[in-house]
A and B are shown apart, each in its own frame.
Chain A
Amino acid sequence: MSTIIHHQEEFGTLQRQRVLRIIILGIVGVLLFRLYQLQLFYNVELGKKSTENSLRSIVKEPIRGYVFDRNGNLLVDVGPSYTLMVTPAEFDERNLSLLSSILHTDPASIEERIDRGRMHSRFSPTRVKRDIDFKTLSAIEESIYLLPGVSYQVESKRYYPSAAHASHLLGYCKEISDAQLARMGDYYKLGDLIGFSGLEASYETMLRGQKGFEFIAVNARGQILGSFEDGRNDVVPKEGFDLILGLDAGTQAVAESLMANYRGSLVALDPSNGLILAMVSKPDFDPSVFSGVTPIEDWNRLNSDSTKPMFNRATMTRYPPGSTFKMVLAAAALEEGIIDEKYRITCYGAYRFGNRTFKDLHVHGSTNIVEAVQRSCNVFFYQLIHKVGLEKWGEYARRLGFGQPTGVDLGEETLGLVPSSDYFDRVYGKGKWTQGYLVSLAIGQGELGVSPLQMAVYTAALANGGTLHQPHAVQYIRNKLTNRVDEFQHRTQSAGLSPQVVELIREGMKRAVNAPGGTGGTARIPNIVVAGKTGTAENPHGDDHSWFVGFAPFDNPTIAVAIVVENAGYGGSKAAPIAGLVMERYLLGSIQRYHARPKSVPRVSVDSTGVITQAVQ
């Protein structure tokens, strides 16, 4: 029997027809039986009820996590908030004016919310007004029998009990936008609150918890008949996790008040691990604006304000760092063996390069590296940049964390800018830029951008002997379901500087604050040795920015600070005194020298508990 004949025989034989017919009949039969089972058998079994009942799920909102500072002070609290709900299918449009008069909201916007809800599901309650006050709630309760389809739901809202705002760090929650709703997928529903910035956004999935659901049987009119299958399918909401921050609320409050009338930013880190002790960005906003319903006027005002109060200057702004950046060049020159501590130049108060003259503030005379940092001698560094070169300088800047994200757990941040020869080629064209462009980089000017956070990481690295820690706000995360506490695991990286090099730079910074002729004397704290470096950064948009970076105590630093005060002039006159007071508050628990302060230090008023409440200019 040949294969072909065999093949011919088997093609579409009567037997195969029969088998396929039986399979088809089997499929249809099984489906019909199941249909019978569901529609007639179970139907009878459950009685008449099931023909009228349907299932509805009621969302049970979880309690969002709390946020504490390092000492257990509550920074972000949660409280109840009442939300007025309307079930579109049950709501009688004729009651719109009654509802609007109770809510003091115009009927058009109520109608719009109901219509949006209807698009989603006309039988599920939709949020019409969030955070109604108690008086309105009782007025609703009184007229609820007149208002079919109207109900309310208890939700949680944020409260900010602390004197410290830390508004940019903590961030805020907001009603989810349509774009987010489309992107974020299944979990979120129309009208849900979602973390929008800061920690609220970056820890959203941990803070928010998990929604619970209650299944209830309702009849065709939407009246509740009881729980479905005795609540066997119900899901209990899961509380959000708590965040315990490294932030010190007292220090944060002092720092905020000291910077109250300025624009700028301050970041304080624990040099041993990168924990954020304080983070200020001014101007800021009152986070409680976002705790309930944010009136559209407030939202627009905050967003259209030309001083950009919503913007986190600590992480998002690229500032020229000025002289505070000189330690980068010092580190490169020392570590590469281009100079040593004995190397000296003579400063005549100016530096000629090509046909340009770069000025210094003073004539510093014979200067070594330590003295150059102490006195902020520009001429010393002008000369040095040509010895070190752009590539090496850029390499050390990157090794010290510049031109790249710090990895902070706050979401978006600027990379800053550390130029390379590729960068200059791109901007000016190959061969169209000269070594003269490097001169200003030597003193932290020119095409260089850093965020205050990057400066703080760099300062902390100089403080701790050369280790870069990923800056992070969150110290612990507490899972309230299991009571398990997890520590934030931060990344650590060495800048690759030898101890002698770091020690020389630290010595220069110590002298800058403590020795005569140092520029940062205004940062001194009684009985504690502070080290630091001032900066006065020219910028094209107005007066110089006042910078200070520093750490204390010198021998075993526990705080490193970077501060920039926009358009405030010399680093030594504005930034350094504020940094000194902030470090004092952190190290000593209070500020003890109100009367003996230098003139340039802002005057502050203090309440009975020792917390600074107001800065007076």
Chain B
Amino acid sequence: MFEYFKEYFDFKTFFITIALVVVGLISVYSATYDAGAGSIFQRQLGWAAIGFVGMIVTAILPLKTIHRLVLPGYVILLLILLVLLIVGKTVSGSRSWFSLAKDLGGQPSEFAKAATLLALAAFLSRTTTIISDPKHLFAAIAIVVVPMGFVLAQPDLGTSMVFFAMLLPVLYWAGVDNFVLAAILSPVIVAAGALFGTSFFIISVAASAVLLYVSRRNRFIAAVAFAITLAVGVSVQFVYERLPSYQQKRIMTFLNPEADPLGSGYNVLQAKVAIGSGGLFGKGYLQGTQTQLNFIPEQWTDFIFCVPGEEFGFFGASIVLILFGVLLMHGIKIASACKNRFSSIAAIGITAVFATHVLINIGMSMGLMPVVGIPLPFLSYGGSALLATMVMSGLLMNFWANRKEY
């Protein structure tokens, strides 16, 4: 019995998920300790329980059932995102919250991420899909870009970045030529470079030129890709001007935090002081002066990492980071071990989503990344995000258990 369990139960994913959720609950409790907001903690506890059930159910469902649910799930979430765009009520600057489902904490774009990566995996794993065929490649890209567009139009820059970030590793894993990846990546590099100013723009253009040149198969196509890259870079300013002012502000604050020490820059400043003042072992639980000062407005959501950072110090925060690192490495291991192509690709997708969230969220708390407002998996307050990420852990467990199935 135990042998069987050892063989098929994914201890690593299970225990790391539980450990991170517990750290998250502890942190949310601390971040909302004095605001009389015990209700926030209780709600999160409730969601963790729902998430736990979701994770277990997902882990033990037959793989075929999951595969069958992928298409309807994807279509339904696309429709929801579309409806949201049309009738969506603006809450806190974006339409991410369904006004109806607000009490349930339903944020459809969290689930759309999972549905999209599963749909992409299902498409790429079809025996009839030939990834080197441009038609199929574009179809694969469309699967991601359509929901990404809906999310971007909400407008939610952070979440749409996650969609994009999962596309590249999945395509890479599915065997797409390096040149194609370079052609997708280089406009993004140049676009980012354009926001930083002229010298960065030139460097990014040069970098993508090198990337495209090294990976080229055909000089003409490489030239076309480079032209597109340049066009994207030039039009970034145009798009930037159409972003809502709060996101413009966030991007600009990231580029130049001193420009806005009161708005987003203030958060980063505070977050850095909070983490920086944690020292080796931290100030002790519920003792973080920064955390308890409530100076970081989105602390229990986007800046949750400040809590372990300040209260448990380098010791605690690096354990959190290492737990994430082990989980991500394990995700790649699952993908490599899966004989079933669908679960292999999906595992990479999940790993990519987790990795992007970790990089952006923790990066922004430490002033390395723009404050784009995406949650830290398992830790941030937010019911739908917690449920969606725990279900993704459940998927990883499922893939591990069924790794020998074709």
Contacts and interface: CB of A to CB of B under 8 A. Distances in A.
Interface of A: 3-4, 6-13, 16-17, 19-21, 23-25, 27-28, 30-32, 34-36, 38-40, 42-43, 46, 50-57, 89, 118-124, 186, 213, 215, 220, 233, 235
B289 A220 contact: yes
A39 B280 contact: yes
Interface of B: 34-36, 130-133, 169, 172-177, 258, 261-263, 266, 269-270, 272-273, 275-280, 283, 289-290, 292-295, 309, 313-314, 317-318, 321-322, 324-325, 328-329, 332, 335-336, 341, 344, 348, 351, 355, 358-359, 362-363, 366, 368
A113 to B, nearest CB: 15
Contacts of A89: 34
B261 A31 contact: no
Contact of A43 (B36, B130, B276, B335): B276
B277 A53 contact: yes
Contact of A56 (B293, B332, B336): B293
Given A57-B266, A233-B261, A119 B280 contact: no
Contacts of B321: 28, 31-32, 35
Contacts of B133: 3
B279 A35 contact: no
A20 B272 contact: no
A28 B325 contact: yes
Contacts of A28: 321-322, 324-325, 328
28 contacts: A4-B130, A7-B131, A7-B175, A10-B177, A12-B335, A16-B172, A16-B175, A17-B332, A17-B336, A24-B332, A24-B355, A27-B358, A28-B324, A28-B328, A30-B368, A31-B368, A39-B276, A39-B278, A39-B280, A39-B317, A52-B277, A54-B289, A54-B295, A55-B270, A120-B294, A122-B35, A123-B293, A124-B293
B35 to A, nearest CB: 6
A34 B366 contact: yes
Nearest to A59: B262
With most chain B CB atoms within 10 A of its CB, the pick from A28, A36, A57 is A28
Contacts of B325: 24-25, 28
Nearest to A28: B325
Contacts of A17: 332, 335-336
A55 B295 contact: yes
Contact of B368 (A34, A50, A186, A215): A34
Contacts of B292: 122-123
Contact of B313 (A3, A39, A186): A39
Contact of A35 (B270, B317, B336): B317
A24 B341 contact: no
Contacts of B177: 10
A509 B270 CA distance: 70
A31 B132 contact: no
Nearest to A53: B277
Given A12-B335, A20-B173, A39-B279, 13 more contacts: A6-B175, A10-B177, A11-B175, A16-B175, A28-B324, A36-B314, A38-B276, A39-B317, A43-B277, A54-B290, A55-B270, A121-B294, A121-B295
Contacts of B261: 213, 215, 233, 235
B364 to A, nearest CB: 11
Contacts of B273: 50, 54-55
Given A7-B132, A40-B314, A55-B270, A35 B275 contact: yes
A28 B258 CA distance: 27
Nearest to B324: A28
Contacts of A55: 269-270, 273, 290, 295
Contacts of A7: 130-132, 175
Contacts of B175: 6-13, 16
B162 to A, nearest CB: 14
Contacts of B368: 30-31, 34
Contact of B275 (A6, A13, A38, A122): A38
Contacts of B130: 3-4, 7
A54 B288 CA distance: 10
Given A10-B175, A28-B322, A35-B321, A21 B332 contact: yes
Contacts of A213: 261-262
Contacts of B172: 16, 19-20
Contacts of B276: 38-39, 42-43, 46, 50
Contact of B34 (A13, A52, A122): A122
A179 B119 CA distance: 43
A26 to B, nearest CB: 10
Nearest to A122: B34
A262 B216 CA distance: 88
B149 to A, nearest CB: 26
Contact of B336 (A4, A12, A25, A53): A12
Nearest to B266: A57
Given A11-B173, A34-B366, A50 B324 contact: no
**7 closest A-B pairs (Cβ-Cβ)?**
A10-B175, A28-B325, A39-B314, A121-B294, A38-B276, A11-B175, A54-B289
Given A16-B172, A25-B325, A38-B276, A6 B132 contact: yes
A54 B277 contact: yes
Contacts of B355: 23-24, 27
A169 B292 CA distance: 45
Contacts of B348: 20
Contact of A233 (B169, B176, B258, B293): B258
B167 to A, nearest CB: 14
B173 A122 contact: no
Contacts of A121: 293-295
A39 B309 contact: yes
Contacts of A19: 172
Contacts of B36: 118-119
Contact of A51 (B279, B314, B332, B336): B279
A57 B294 CA distance: 12
Contacts of B174: 11
A524 B172 CA distance: 92
Nearest to B125: A11
Contact of B329 (A24, A30, A46, A123): A24
A31 B262 contact: no
Nearest to A217: B273
B35 A119 contact: yes
A51 B309 contact: no
A46 B295 CA distance: 21
Nearest to B314: A39
A40 B27 CA distance: 21
A224 B290 CA distance: 15
Contacts of A25: 325, 329
Contacts of B275: 35, 38-39
Contacts of A39: 275-276, 278-280, 309, 313-314, 317
Nearest to B177: A10
A476 B249 CA distance: 31
A36 B279 CA distance: 9
Nearest to B366: A34
A283 to B, nearest CB: 41
Contacts of B263: 186
Contacts of A30: 368
A12 B133 CA distance: 18
Contacts of A120: 294
B355 to A, nearest CB: 6
A28 B322 CA distance: 7
B328 A31 contact: no
B249 to A, nearest CB: 10
A58 B225 CA distance: 52
Contacts of A8: 175
A446 B65 CA distance: 73
Nearest to A211: B262
A30 B358 CA distance: 12
B295 to A, nearest CB: 7
A373 to B, nearest CB: 54
A120 B34 CA distance: 10
Nearest to B261: A233
